[in-house]
Amino acid sequence: MACELKEKERVGIINPIFTCQPAGAQYASIGIKDCLGIVHGGQGCVMFVRLLFAQHFKENFDIASSSLHEDAAVFGAVHRVEEAVDVVLMRYPHVKVIPIITTCSTEVIGDDVDGVVRKLNQGLLKEKYANREVHLISIHTPSFKGSQVTGYDVALEAFVQTLAKKDQPNGKVNLITGWVNPGDVTALKHLLAEMKVEATVLFEIESFDSPIMPDSDKSAVSHGSTTVEELIGTANALGTIALNKYEGGKAAQYLANEFDIPTIIGPTPIGIRNTDTFLQNLKKMTGKPIPESLVRERGIAIDALTDLVHMFFADKRVAIYGHPDLVIGLAEFCLDLEMKPVLLLLGDDNVTYHDDPRIKAFQEKVDFDMQIICNSDLWELEDRIKNQGLELDLILGHSKGRFISIDNNIPMVRVGFPTYDRAGLYRHPVVGYAGAIWLAEEMANTLFIDMEYKKNKEWILNVW
């Protein structure tokens, strides 16, 4: 009985769990108000990523491309960045922040994006846009290493490196949410409000769930709402809490090193235990007490879970794939619910997973066979089910793996990014006490439907 952490043993990828680094940088960019990213590469590097965002959120997002063609591979294409910046500034008079996001092709060509940013700052911006506030930020996201997760992490670091400036203390907490859904942001803001903690929620995407209003002028365009001023002010915060180690940890560490800001990285507040720790961390950082209202919410969540844990969840075997912080947080929650997360798939080649204290805790504590596969693809799951006799009661993961669930008659809860084959999942939190209730009840209801469908002990529901 052991928890084994290992690399996928095959070369190549069959059905990837993630897409590439520029996608993460694009997700970070659309979290900033008055920001429009230019992806320096072929159009497909934007087209497919925008499609994923649109599928997941059922909303539209503007992202630009420098749109390379064959000649760029031979002669380079920094001139296309110069033209693209000019076009974006002319077409979008409100834009203040333009990240230039590199791709595999432009990193291989060796286009000097940092140099072109310096040139534009000295030339075009001074000459043609002298009276306009514009911040150009180069973000290096070659797709031949990392994944959309590292791309998001690298982008956040680049934004704070470029924009954060030391000034007077602002008494706020920097809250770096990581790659979450609007429902998660709503749940986190609720916890902050109950604690009476003033926070800068960074790369704030609650408004990705945008309304259609009777007056069309008031209909919100889906876009993030973290302002340039808030990013500048991150250097003056009381402290930083980054909820996800791999999605914002670098930016939090930069602020700690550069501006001596107290910093706490993790845990992802999935489940009761991790939400408790998050609130304790807020209390430690701000001196604000945890109010009775949150103790009551916690109690309601524990009551909801108690109804389900032993009777329905105990010993259920679960496979989980997706973003590493989400997968680890879900596995911790499953363990607390007496489930057995027997297989975790982490879809990139991050070598630091071996040092993650949460993974070390799994290795020390689990009393069943559990595998954690790094650099994994979805074939690692499919092959184990079809050819190696892996028995599962439940799969947790995003929509890209749904055919494994369908083909093998294993119930599945959609969670993570992207989830486009179920309605409105972006609206439901997985974090906080509200997230614990939603996740547990979603898992239970999925198992109940499966029991009925397979006529397996569905009579239990008569007496529950």
Tokens 């064959």, located at residue: 70
Q: Of 46 and 242, which CB lies nearer to ligand SF4 in the complex structure?
A: 46
Closest distance of CB 40 from ligand SF4, Å: 10
Q: Of 108 and 300, which CB lies nearer to ligand SF4 in the complex structure?
A: 108
Closest distance of CB 70 from ligand SF4, Å: 14
Nearest CA to 184 among 323, 47, 321? 323
Contact 304, 444 (CB under 8 A): no
Closest distance of CB 26 from ligand SF4, Å: 10
Closest distance of CB 15 from ligand SF4, Å: 16
Which residues, including other chains, have CB under 8 Å from residue 201's CB and lie 6 or more apart?
A: 175, 177, 185, 188, 189, 192, 226
Closest distance of CB 141 from ligand SF4, Å: 8
What b/e readout covers 337-350, taking b as 16+ CB neighbours within 10 angstroms? bebbbbbbbbbbeb
Beta partners for residue 263, in sequence order: 240
Beta partners for residue 7, in sequence order: 374
Which residues, including other chains, have CB under 8 Å from residue 195's CB and lie 6 or more apart?
A: 279, 282, 283, 286, 288, 290, 291, 294
Q: Of 26 and 274, which CB lies nearer to ligand SF4 in the complex structure?
A: 26
Q: Of 63 and 337, which CB lies nearer to ligand SF4 in the complex structure?
A: 63
Q: Of 37 and 429, which CB lies nearer to ligand SF4 in the complex structure?
A: 37
Q: Of 137 and 264, which CB lies nearer to ligand SF4 in the complex structure?
A: 137
Q: Which residue is nearest to ligand SF4, using beta carbons?
A: 45
Helix axes 271-286, 432-453, angle to 10 degrees: 170
Q: Which residues contact ligand SF4 by CB under 6 A?
A: 20, 22, 41-42, 44-45, 103-104, 143
Q: Of 141 and 274, which CB lies nearer to ligand SF4 in the complex structure?
A: 141
Closest distance of CB 20 from ligand SF4, Å: 3
Closest distance of CB 144 from ligand SF4, Å: 8
Beta partners for residue 394, in sequence order: 318
At 329, give phi and psi (nearest 5°). -60, -40
Nearest CA to 36 among 122, 80, 106, 96? 96
